[in-house]
Structure 1
Amino acid sequence: MLNKLRNWATDFALGIRTTGIVETHITDGCHTSTVDYAIVERVLNRLRLGPEDVFVDIGCGKGRVVCVAARRKLCFVSGIELSSDMAVIAAKNVERLRGRYSSAMINQNDATRYDYGQTTVAYLFHPFEANVLEQVLAKIRVDRKGRRFRCAFVNLSPAQEATFLRHQDWLTCTLRWIEKGKLVAIYATDRSGSDHC
């Protein structure tokens, strides 16, 4: 209950509305929800974001992570959301966000078709099942063409973890930990300067 109050209070302070769970009814998708602000901040800190990073929240829901990332000095922040209803809510939240340092936008798009060519960092909070994750990782690999990339996956399931293992020739786990019962893992194309799983 205390965490819910903190999340609501943070939403209020930022001028946005990101709380609650919404069923999306998207095939192979998951319901829309988010994690506590404190967890989002810890994950973003461990991604070691910098002003050169182009950050994308894949399956951004109502846009909480996009808004938190946009309060940091990054090159650009984007959210991808397949549900048109959620994309509208997320875009309104980005528009109303107080304390934004970085340009940000929401793309109502299919994550398997999005152009990741400029994306250096991605965040995923269990947005879809492993079969879609497979397609998204394959698309990122092609779009990034050997350039540096890292991502955080929050609430990683065994099937999703197995999907990342199938991509370990180009994307390896550099850090993993448990946050309030949810497995979080960071994957990167370059392991230098990072912890290891």
Structure 2
Amino acid sequence: MKELRKLISKFTPERILRKSSLLIMENFQGVDISRIVYPEEVGLDSRYVGESTPSWNKYVVRLLKDLHINNQDAILDIGCGKGSAMLAMLKFPFARVDGIELSEEISEIAIRNLTRLKKQRWQIFNGDAITFKDYNAYSMLYFYNPFPGEIMRQVVANIHSSISGREQEMLIIYNLPVCHELIVKDGVFCKQREYPNGYGDKIFVYSNKNLQHSRLHRSLS
């Protein structure tokens, strides 16, 4: 019943109007951001990857404002889809806003979207998050529920391996954190903050530093 109420809440008249307005605007701009893409549409298996759904909204922007982002920071959207969240991130002074996406077709849509909107400071990697080797190049990672548990377990293990010995802080921003336990299981990352995501769910923020030594401590003062 709770899940049914949550599903119904996503189809209020206000949200339907907003969705329609976004689609009209995107059509005018020649971009494709808001339309959901299901794994089977692009030849992927829904047992291993989630649907490509936009996650840019005011709640994500509010969270990013708390993170004291500067031009030394870089962020990677893992399972970036068509680049929706990257558009929100590009409003902040990151040195780099990158994304990794398994589907070549969806990657090409993201590249086309960001190019047509004349955005800079970004790169899209078409590849597998399980084997990606450059996580240590980023100060922040972003997930919007891109994988089921078994895939997330392997991705987290790859992140741990990539940042082994790292002294600098790394944040993980996890929107709709269904695999929360896998993030904190090995004690490398600890949940430090919690935000609403606008759909009745949460966004968790994790750090590899304790709160006293984290940039998140500044947002509490």
Whether TM exceeds 0.5 here: the answer is yes
Cα offsets for 1:126-154 (capped at 9, x unmatched):
00012211211221122122232101111
Output the amino acid matched with 2:162. D
**1:12, CA displacement in angstroms?**
6.8
1:1-197 mapped onto 2 (5 Å cutoff): 1-5=16-20, 7-8=22-23, 11=26, 16-24=31-39, 25-26=44-45, 27-98=47-118, 100=119, 102-114=120-132, 115-145=134-164, 146=166, 147-157=168-178, 160-167=179-186, 169-179=187-197, 180-190=199-209, 191=211, 192-194=214-216
More helix per residue: 2
Which structure has the bigger radius of gyration?
Answer: 2
Cα offsets for 1:19-66 (capped at 9, x unmatched):
011111334111111224223312322343221111100000111112
- In the superposition, the TM-score normalised over structure 1's length comes to 0.85
**1:93, CA displacement in angstroms?**
1.0
Once residues 94 and 75 of structure 2 are traced to their aligned partners in structure 1, the CA distance between those partners, rounded to angstroms, is 8
- How many residues are aligned here? 191
Once residues 148 and 188 of structure 2 are traced to their aligned partners in structure 1, the CA distance between those partners, rounded to angstroms, is 21
Once residues 103 and 13 of structure 1 are traced to their aligned partners in structure 2, the CA distance between those partners, rounded to angstroms, is 24
Question: Quick check: 1:62–1:89 contact (8 Å CA) kept in 2?
Answer: yes
The SS at the match of 1:124 is strand
**1:10, CA displacement in angstroms?**
6.8
Question: Quick check: 2:66–2:216 contact (8 Å CA) kept in 1?
Answer: no
Is there any run of 5+ residues in structure 1 with no aligned partner, and where?
none
- In the superposition, the TM-score normalised over structure 2's length comes to 0.77
**1:11, CA displacement in angstroms?**
4.7
Is there any run of 5+ residues in structure 2 with no aligned partner, and where?
1-15
Output the amino acid matched with 2:117. L
Q: Identical aligned pairs, as a percentage?
A: 23
Output the amino acid matched with 2:185. R
Question: Quick check: 1:63–1:94 contact (8 Å CA) kept in 2?
Answer: yes
Q: CA RMSD in A?
A: 2.3
Cα offsets for 1:67-121 (capped at 9, x unmatched):
22223221111110001110010111121124x3x51011101011112120111
